[in-house]
Each structure stands twice: as structure tokens, then as C-alpha cells.
Amino acid sequence: MIFRQLFDPESSTYTYLLADEGTCQAVLIDPVRDQVERDEQLLRELDLKLAYTLETHVHADHIAGSGVLRQRLGSTSVMSARAGASCADRLVETGDLIEVGDLVIEARLTPGHTSGCVSYVVPQAKRVFTGDTLLIRGCGRTDFQQGSAETLYDSVHQQLFTLPDDFAVYPGHDYKGRTSSTIGEEKKHNPRLGGGKSKEEFARIMANLKLAHPKKIDVAVPANLECGLKIPNVAGEAVEKAWAPIERTGGGVPEVTAGWVKAHLGEFRVLDVREEDEYNGPLSHLPGSELVPLGTVEHGVKDWDRKAPVVTVCRSGGRSGRAALALEKMGFERVASLRGGMLVYREVEKSGGAAEAEAEPVVCG
């Protein structure tokens, strides 16, 4: 099994990459939206195909990357059947298996931190990925998102502490630089749940934590109920993030680079303004693009959402620049032209558009 533990410093979130070496199929556990480019680069470097993203719960401290990864790479998103997230492709119950080549991952519902928590057990690797249910020498809070100290206690003792003592514990977070533990260690040394603590003692501990409200909860929770694809503003309206690093030419054309477009496909609408023979010609077209030749743009996009981001594309950037300016005049709020057009995009594609790998080389497939 190929394994990597990745870290998001802003939220102290661990993301885990697991892959079957025979088929080069991979899963990501708890991907973070702000780290999607990092995760995609690692998948390319290791020559892996992302089959699944596994969420341990609806997060309150960061926005998940599962939706964006599904759009870009075609992965299947997995969440607990109790999470309340209809955006997921597969909703799991305790005992359900996720198979990736010879790698078999067992879902175990472990509610308590939230009502929709699930842990993932990999028996052949003697590992369990516990999300926020069981942390290293701690556990997730139980005072929001239908949390319950009593339920969390039962989840840990019935679903996790029943695993063999030598199973490695990989949590959703750590704030002190620790990376993993074992079931045996946590049964002995976890100050909240271990050492023979009773359910009543645990409930008293959790009731007296007096933790501050998570800073991102009002944005993260509703966004993650949509797999991280719709991000609410403070008024509750779904909006996109600041969507692109736009630079304007001397003529005022808003442009984005081919590398950025390649990395963010799926996050915007692609308007190709070439003629049909070019669109289907040697340079071909971007996945999911919509052909509206430049002379028909005004009529072709009249019913499009003016708030949705749009990238215009042509052969070398001239026509798409004119189209971008036309869309802005029509009231489109988020428009950019692909700088250099399909000519530059194909060159970036050939070069890989990625830095040299820093991880140890793995040959797969």
C-alpha cells in the first residue's frame, strides 16, 4: 500500500492518501479545498488515479475538497449516511466496504463529535482513520452539530477500542505536532477516554471544556453539506470564493494563465469562441467547454448566469479577449480570457505544469 500523511497548517487538518500498488487506484481521506492543487500534484507524481474521497464528517473548521476533486478527476465522494449531505455519491453505514484494488476499507459509524462521523478501518494495514472522534490523547468536542458526549463515548468504546491494540490511529487533526498513535496507547493514556474512565466522568469532562465557537463554522458547515462547492457569505447566500488571479492587459482584457486554468478546471464555465472546425481540430478543446463562436456570443450566452465565473477560450487569446470584454459589458461579473489560448494550454499540458517531485519516487502501473 502506498501511504502519505499530508497537513494543512491553517486548520491543522490531516489528509491521508492511500493507494493500491497493483491497480494504482487511490483514495483521499478528508481532502481540504485549499490544498487540492497539492493533492493533485502528488497523485500525478505517483501516477495514481483518484477513485474515492472519504469524508470523516461535515467539518466546521475548513472547507472540504471532495467536490472540486470529483469535478476535476471523476472521483466518488463518500460520507456517513447520517451526515445529512445529499451531495455525496455514496452514503455508508457501519460494515460497508470500500474496495480499491486489493485495498479494502471498512466504514464504522462513530457519531458523537457530530451526528455524521465515520471512521475508516484498513485491516490489512492495521490502521484506523478516526477523524475527530478519537484524537491523539484527546477527542473532538461534542457541543455542536448534534454532538453528544455519551454517544461519542459509546462510539469510541464499541467501534474503536474493540480493535486490536496494535492498530495505528491516524486522527483528523493534531495541534501539538504528533502524527499517529495506537489503539493500545489511547486506551491507556487518553486523558478523556482512556484509563478506565466511565461514561459519566467523560461527560463531565466534556461539559467543562468551555471551548470558543469555531471561527469558520458558519461558512464551513453549509459549504461542506454541498461537498465544498458552494461557499456562503455572512448573509448566508451561496457565492464563489475570490475565483481567479486575474491580470489585465494594456487594453483592459482580464486574463488568467493556462497553468491556473488547468489546475482549476471544473470551477468555472468554459466558453470556447472558435469555429466548429477549430473546436474539433488538432488543438481540440477543454473538457466541459461550450462552443459559442465569437460572432454569436451575445445571443449564445443571453440566458447564462451573470454571477457564475466564465473563462473564454480561443486559439491564441485574441478572440477570447474580445469575448471577455463583451461579456463584461453584458453584466457578467466574473470573466477572464485564457492567456495564449489553446496553443499555450497544450504546451503547458505537455510540460506537466508541475514542479519536480519531492516525495520519494514510486513507480505505479
The domain spans of the chain are 2-235, 240-351
Inter-residue contact 205 to 164 (CB < 8 Å): no
Q: Say whether 240-351 and 2-235 share the same fold.
A: no
Inter-residue contact 103 to 26 (CB < 8 Å): no
Query: For residue 351, what pLDDT is reported?
Result: 78
Stretch 307-313: mean pLDDT, rounded? 95
Inter-residue contact 132 to 140 (CB < 8 Å): yes
As a whole number of angstroms, the distance between CA 173 and CA 170 comes to 9
Query: For residue 355, what pLDDT is reported?
Result: 29
Mean pLDDT across the chain: 91
Stretch 5-25: mean pLDDT, rounded? 96
List helix spans (H) across the chain: 36-45, 66-73, 149-155, 183-189, 199-207, 217-224, 258-264, 276-279, 297-300, 318-329, 341-351
Per-residue pLDDT for 359 more than 80?
Answer: no
Query: For residue 312, what pLDDT is reported?
Result: 98
Inter-residue contact 263 to 37 (CB < 8 Å): yes
* Phi/psi of residue 282, nearest 5 degrees: -60, -35
Q: In the CATH scheme, what is the homologous superfamily, with its name and number, of domain 2-235?
A: Ribonuclease Z/Hydroxyacylglutathione hydrolase-like (3.60.15.10)
Query: For residue 213, what pLDDT is reported?
Result: 83
Residues 88-144: tens digit of each pLDDT: 999 999 999 999 999 999 999 999 999 999 999 999 999 999 999 999 999 999 998
Inter-residue contact 2 to 21 (CB < 8 Å): yes
**What architecture is the 240-351 domain classified under in CATH?**
3-Layer(aba) Sandwich (3.40)
Per-residue pLDDT for 353 more than 60?
Answer: no
What cell does 2 get?
502506498
Q: Which residues have C-beta within 8 Å of that of residue 212, sequence separation ≥ 6?
A: none
Inter-residue contact 118 to 97 (CB < 8 Å): no
Stretch 198-202: mean pLDDT, rounded? 97
Q: Please tell me the total number of residues recorded for the chain in this structure.
A: 365
Residues 260-304: tens digit of each pLDDT: 999 899 889 999 999 999 999 999 999 999 999 999 999 999 999
Q: What is the dihedral of CA 16, 8, 207, 164, to 10 degrees?
A: 20
Query: For residue 242, what pLDDT is reported?
Result: 53
Where is average pLDDT lowest: 62-66, 189-193, 225-229, 274-278?
225-229
Q: Which residues have C-beta within 8 Å of that of residue 210, sequence separation ≥ 6?
A: none
pTM: 0.70
Query: For residue 55, what pLDDT is reported?
Result: 98
Q: Which residues have C-beta within 8 Å of that of residue 328, sequence separation ≥ 6?
A: 254, 335
Place 352 in a pLDDT band, splitting at 50, 70 and 90: low
Place 233 in a pLDDT band, splitting at 50, 70 and 90: low
Residues 17-52: tens digit of each pLDDT: 999 999 999 999 999 998 988 999 999 999 999 999
Strand segments (E) across 110-226 = 118-122, 127-131, 168-171, 181-182
Query: For residue 243, what pLDDT is reported?
Result: 72
Query: For residue 251, what pLDDT is reported?
Result: 82
Query: For residue 360, what pLDDT is reported?
Result: 41
What cell does 16 get?
491521508
